[in-house]
Amino acid sequence: MTTTAPDRQQVGLDDEARLGLYATMVLARRFEEAILAEYHADKGPGFDIGKGLVPGEMHLAAGQEPVAAGVCAHLRSDDAITATHRPHHFAIAHGVDLGRMAAEIFGRETGLGHGRGGHMHLFDPETHFSCSGIVTEGYPAALGQAFAFVRHGTDRIAVAVTGDGGANQGAFHESLNLAACWKLPVVFVIEDNDWAISVPRSASTAVSSNATRARAYDMPGVRVEDNDVEAVYLAASEAVARARAGDGPSLIEVHTLRLWGHFEGDAQGYRPELAEVVGHDPIPSYETKLRSDGILDDSRRDKIYQQAGERIEQAIAFAKSSPLPDPSTARSYIFA
């Protein structure tokens, strides 16, 4: 099933809400642009990922911002999200503190995980956000959270995110099956950016749309085309309302776009469409739409960019000024 253009009045998508979607997308993109600059600033010849202010691998979500913005617009801070190894846009859209997230990416003591986890293992109890470097790991974890919400008699929900490659993992199918059996308040999200690292969906997946797999587990399945943030917003509105009402899980697949490499340093020689990718950037596309509708002008756009830039500058400064973990605490926070 593919969504149609949303009825903005029906789902409460007024002018301010549309600007809010745009602002969330801009904030996520500008944060990643800043992290990208810091990541490369001191790597030096040979691109040693173990060196520099930001050590380790880096997986960035540029181009996939509409998914996070559209879904998270319906969530409360007490709802849970389990994201992927490409997590920054969902963390930002769900309200994770930018400074503590930046500090974690920089490996600093003030980070979300005291600098132990890095960018693929962000964990924030305040907003109930987590992610993992293990593909589709967040799906089973979301079931546990959703089960707890039901046992406590709340209307909180869990959102679990994976990619199109992750939809071929056993954990994906096991999680959909159990969520349907127990009628758990979960919204399953698939970010279909066409590539499971370097493998095209057409070469790895038997169905043209993972949304059709929802039928096997007796739950609604919706595919959103064209990386359309407002269509994501509409689909998420229905799925979140269904979960909160106790009517069980739903699946949303969004055909989105990975503007940059699978990881930073990925030459992307496997992508024949690479030259065309920049022309499908969802942020300028949505900006054009908002301008056409008379909602966005230069003044408002500049203010949104300025506010995002100020927040990110403060977050990066906080991370850089924070101390590295004391080596004597290496065994702290270990539970087994």
List the pLDDT tens digit at each of the 336 positions of the chain: 444 444 665 567 999 999 999 999 999 999 999 999 999 888 766 667 777 889 889 999 999 999 999 999 999 999 999 999 999 999 999 999 999 999 999 999 999 999 999 999 999 999 999 999 999 999 999 999 999 999 999 999 999 999 999 999 999 999 999 999 999 999 999 999 999 999 999 999 999 999 999 999 999 999 999 999 999 999 999 999 999 999 999 999 999 999 999 999 899 999 999 999 999 999 999 999 999 999 999 999 999 999 999 999 999 999 999 999 999 999 998 887
User: Cα dihedral sign for 296, 297, 302, 307?
Assistant: negative
Q: How far is CA 177 from CA 88, 239, 249, 259, in A?
A: 28, 17, 10, 33
Task: Name, in order, each residue with C-beta under 8 angstroms of 80's C-beta and a sequence gap of 6 or more.
Answer: 128, 129, 130, 142, 145, 146, 149, 156, 157, 158, 159
pLDDT, residue 1, reads: 46
- Identify the residue whose tokens are 């370097």: 198
CA 90, CA 136: separation in Å to the nearest integer? Answer: 15
Single-letter amino acid code for the residue at 197? I
Burial group, residue 327, by CB count within 10 angstroms (0-12, 13-18, 19+): exposed
Instruction: Please list, in sequence order, all residues whose beta carbon lies within 8 angstroms of the beta carbon of residue 226, skipping any fewer than 6 positions away.
Output: 255
Paired residues of 253 in beta bridges: 190, 223
| Structural domains present in the chain | 15-323 (3.40.50.970)
- Give ∠ CA 25-107-52 in degrees, rounded to 5: 90
Q: Is the pTM of this model over 0.75?
A: yes
Residue 322 to residue 336: CA distance in whole angstroms: 28
Number of residues that make up the chain: 336
